[in-house]
Structure 1
Amino acid sequence: MQPLAKALAAALAAGALMLGAGVADAEPSVGAGSSSSTSPGPPPPVDWKPCPEDRAAECGTLRLPVDWARPGGEKFDLAVARRKATDSERRVGVLLVNPGGPGESGVDFALDRATTYFSADVRAKFDIIGFDPRGIGASRPVTCSQELLDRRPSPYPRDQAEFGRLVAYNRELREDCRRHTGAMFDHADTLGVVRDMEALRRSLGEQKINYFGHSYGTLIGEQYAELYGDRIRAMALTANIDHSLGTRDFLVSAATTAEDSFHQFVKWCDRSRSCALNGRDVTAVWDGLLARADRGEIRDPDHPDRALTANAITREAFGTFYGPDWSRLATYVAELDAQTAAAPSGPSTPPNTAREASTAADPFAAVFCQDWRIRAGDYADYARVTAAELRAAPHMRGSPRIHDAVARCIGWPDEVNNPQRRLRITKAPKILLMHSRHDPANHYSWVTNVHRQTRGTTVLLTYEGAGHSVYGRSDCTRGAADAYLTALKVPGDGSRCAAAGP
């Protein structure tokens, strides 16, 4: 999960009769593996116009069904942005991109980041195309009442009563978001995105696409390869999602890799004079800081009238692990640890009546809770899994963002559009999987599980360092991905790139 998010969750759903599996099984006979005589006609082409934000890029929309089971029903506009290949004579094709989330905007990525993220060679040979997945950004976004979002309870209930309040809140928020969003709320899952991407391919008039997916964007790629593998020229997936894990395995593995990232930070701090905590017992300082936060003794530097919770501190640390930006984390911890004043006593959040009638985009749960079947039945069940997380990550206290993601689905209906299952990719070319050994959010075992499930169609390249990003970590990682995308030079399975600096 990318800023994570950029995160994720699970419960094994192996039955072939589940809704998501049943639709997936049927789909290739209509437009994926069928002949042109039975394939649906292409959607109209995107009406490209110069983007208001950057006239060197082109923007447009594609009109698509909200519910692919009812293609003649309600429609929405899929927002798309394109940067044409800078060398038309060497153009290879289109490179569709998803930067993760769920919730990240592919349009924003194409406009704001693509020119510095990808190498000049990739930009020369591909039209880089970003799209906002359904329910996200400018593609009929999921919206909810700001006032309701502002009063979300803790994702760490302490007893059955608090668990019940979390269930009631999640249900209230779900209905509020459905009311503000409309039918899209119930169809924001990744299988819908996959079908949108196939429609975009046909609209572009491309026989085959190239795809680059990061973090949650890898789930889009994996499921596109299942349904439309013969429509892929090349696909590179970084920081991979394993969509076959059960609830406990998912949460415990996420906690384990968050804890590993904490230990990578401690090791760096011990050997680096630039660390603000160098020469101190970093683990003891950290544990002491969280204990003081538990007692309400740490203030939020941005809001001195508020206490800073231990969960807020671990979430901040977790975010720095993505880079990683260990220097920033060390400075943050040192400044909090230096606080000596008494704890705040006033209200933590003053009422804000001006926000009560406003809405805000909040697509995460609409996507995540339709992609994963995770529904703890009661507090005892939830407490057992939470305890396992804490045992796996005593210093990080689990994986804060991924635990939070799982907590958002409690109280939702049991049936989901796209439940977990093992991957079955049969028609795709070789797909490149890339993953950091010390990824803070997506455990390394996730990519090895994906690779094991797709042994005949994937190759795995491991970056031996830390962080959630992979492509731009070193000349080795960038070079391997570029050679694969531009010239279909597949690295040897099991290849490795050495760790670079933070």
Structure 2
Amino acid sequence: MRKALLAVAIAVLGATTVVPAASAAPGTLVWGPCPAGAFPTPDLQCTTLKVPLDYRAPGGRTIDVAVSRLPSKNPEKRRGVLLTNPGGPGGGGLDYPQLLKLVRLPQEVLDSYDIIGFDPRGVAHSTPVTCDLTPEQIAVGNLPYANGPADVVKQAAIAKREAEQCAGSKTGSMLPYVTTANTARDMDRIRTALGEPKVSFLGASYGTYLGAVYTTLFPERSDRIVLDSNLGPGGYDVDAMRGFGRGMEDRFPDFAAFAAKHPEYGLGTTPSQVTAKFHELAARLDRAPVEGVTGSVFRGLTFEGLYVTDLAQLAEDWQGLDQGRAPKPPEAPVTGVENLLASRFAVICGDSAWPRSIASYQLDVAVDRIRYPLLGAASANIAACAYWAPPAEPRVRITGHGPANVLMVQNQRDPGTPLSGARKLRAAFGERARMITIDQGGHGAYLFTPGKCGNSLVTEYLVSGKRPDDTFCPAES
């Protein structure tokens, strides 16, 4: 998730406790202060907007969407608003404009736009959903590694119970409407309430799919669209989930080379030795976990560690586990984990139909264990979506119909949103899009690449509207 990466980049732990101001009627927004919580938000203004729960019944039940604004302080250069989304699904975005400013979103961009953040429907300070997940269910995680067919059957029972809890919770009636398409419709309600004829957009990770859906549903209301670290045109469907296995295979050689160059970690002196250490550690931790860290947890820890460009912490974690010490837990608890997982289920399971057969997942696990040996038997495992109600509406089809106003930016070796998916989205957009591909590993390209190539091209597009052709940026130190 891009927001988490930003938090790492500025060494801030925890999530915001921003409380939106009083609710505003559609078409008007009454801005108020955002009280500082674990994450400071001194420059933000906040409000709440009422939107329909079901856009097919716009006069029916409404829910709240929490919205924030980081206003431009240069009225002569201000050209409009820039909606933002840090990824997810399930993560809040109310404090994202402040995070972007703190990691040095260029001043030209801050001058050109009011930066708009929001918690998507179902999330955090917007009307939240719940699945009543227990700490034990949360600890299992989304997709534990399956060592064989029996592990898929075991996970199926957990997944079925999660889906039943979601449907039976006090917010179960909301779940069919907590989808990417409806969040995109909420974005257009925000645009209307701001009094803007068009909006620009900066979205990362899952936010790329949200932006793609928005500009597909509302092409005439889309200004400059920047999509950073891209999902494929199907969003977080079953293929994208299996794509995590591909992404880890793409990115892991960077870590293996790093660890081999630093023998002080004791993980091997060649990339092949580091790779062998991965499999040896995973097997050892399955037999004898270290403070609750199993082989499955170790694989997930490694996958998450590959998101960032600085791989030293991951090497230290491996070294500790190899010596019988678990990584240090976060210094502060992450709030809202249950809501994050519940809203994530709602979006992923509600956007598209998932296979129902346990046998199909057992086959996928067997195939991906061979195809993507580092993580494939986890990313192909069964999840709650196999037991979800059918989607309330067809998935939005991303096409080339609309203005040529999309700029994609993508690392070559992104574990979370692999280049293969980004290329599929680029093909689906056709002449609507151009893509900057950067010789870089990790998740997050704009503001995260050490070189100037990708950053300068994205900033120039946001500020001047000059969009580059498809571009390859070589590695820069």
Q: Normalising by structure 1, what TM-score?
A: 0.80
Q: Secondary structure at the match of 1:106?
A: coil
The answer (yes or no) to whether the contact 1:466–1:499 under 8 Å persists in 2 is no
Asked if 1:433 corresponds to 2:380, the answer is no
Corresponding position of 1:408: 384
Corresponding position of 1:390: 369
Indicate which of 211, 218, 235 corresponds to 2:201.
211
Q: Secondary structure at the match of 2:72?
A: coil
Q: Deviations over 1:253-273 (max 9, x none)?
A: 431221121112112223356
Indicate which of 183, 187, 192 corresponds to 2:182.
192
Paired residues for 1:413-428 under 5 Å: 413=389, 415-417=390-392, 420=395, 422-428=397-403
Instruction: Identify if the C-alpha distance between structure 1 residues 233 and 399 changes in structure 2 by more than 3 Å, giving closer, same or farther.
Output: farther
Asked if 1:149 corresponds to 2:137, the answer is yes
Letter of the structure 1 residue corresponding to residue 67 of structure 2: V
Cα distance in 2 between the residues matched to 1:129 and 1:169: 38
Cα distance in 1 between the residues matched to 2:325 and 2:304: 26
Moved more, 439-448 or 173-182: 173-182
Letter of the structure 1 residue corresponding to residue 458 of structure 2: A
Instruction: Identify if the C-alpha distance between structure 1 residues 129 and 160 changes in structure 2 by more than 3 Å, giving closer, same or farther.
Output: same
Aligned length: 437
Letter of the structure 2 residue corresponding to residue 409 of structure 1: C
Asked if 1:475 corresponds to 2:455, the answer is no
The answer (yes or no) to whether the contact 2:90–2:344 under 8 Å persists in 1 is yes
The answer (yes or no) to whether the contact 1:85–1:125 under 8 Å persists in 2 is yes
Structure 1 residue 275: Cα displacement: 5.8
Paired residues for 1:310-459 under 5 Å: 310-339=295-324, 361=340, 362-378=342-358, 380-394=359-373, 396-398=374-376, 400=378, 402-403=379-380, 407-413=383-389, 415-417=390-392, 420=395, 422-459=397-434
Point out the structure with max Rg over C-alpha.
1
Cα distance in 2 between the residues matched to 1:471 and 1:371: 27
Cα distance in 1 between the residues matched to 2:124 and 2:66: 8
Cα distance in 2 between the residues matched to 1:458 and 1:366: 29
Cα distance in 2 between the residues matched to 1:392 and 1:50: 51
The answer (yes or no) to whether the contact 2:404–2:431 under 8 Å persists in 1 is no
Instruction: Identify if the C-alpha distance between structure 1 residues 164 and 426 changes in structure 2 by more than 3 Å, giving closer, same or farther.
Output: same
The answer (yes or no) to whether the contact 1:190–1:418 under 8 Å persists in 2 is no
Asked if 1:71 corresponds to 2:71, the answer is no
Structure 1 residue 243: Cα displacement: 3.0
Structure 1 residue 287: Cα displacement: 1.7
Identity percentage of aligned residues: 30
Letter of the structure 2 residue corresponding to residue 211 of structure 1: F
Structure 1 residue 293: Cα displacement: 1.1
Corresponding position of 1:176: 165
Letter of the structure 1 residue corresponding to residue 223 of structure 2: R
Q: Secondary structure at the match of 1:219?
A: helix
Q: Normalising by structure 2, what TM-score?
A: 0.84
Corresponding position of 1:299: 290
Q: Secondary structure at the match of 1:56?
A: coil
Where do 5+ consecutive residues of structure 2 fail to align? 7-24, 327-336
Cα distance in 1 between the residues matched to 2:307 and 2:366: 25
Structure 1 residue 453: Cα displacement: 1.5
Paired residues for 1:95-134 under 5 Å: 95-134=82-121
Letter of the structure 2 residue corresponding to residue 188 of structure 1: V
The answer (yes or no) to whether the contact 2:119–2:125 under 8 Å persists in 1 is yes
Q: Which protein, 1 or 2, shows the higher relative CO under an 8 Å CA cutoff with sep ≥ 6?
A: 1
Cα distance in 2 between the residues matched to 1:374 and 1:5: 29
Instruction: Identify if the C-alpha distance between structure 1 residues 334 and 249 changes in structure 2 by more than 3 Å, giving closer, same or farther.
Output: same
Instruction: Identify if the C-alpha distance between structure 1 residues 251 and 57 changes in structure 2 by more than 3 Å, giving closer, same or farther.
Output: closer
Instruction: Identify if the C-alpha distance between structure 1 residues 117 and 219 changes in structure 2 by more than 3 Å, giving closer, same or farther.
Output: farther
The answer (yes or no) to whether the contact 1:434–1:461 under 8 Å persists in 2 is yes
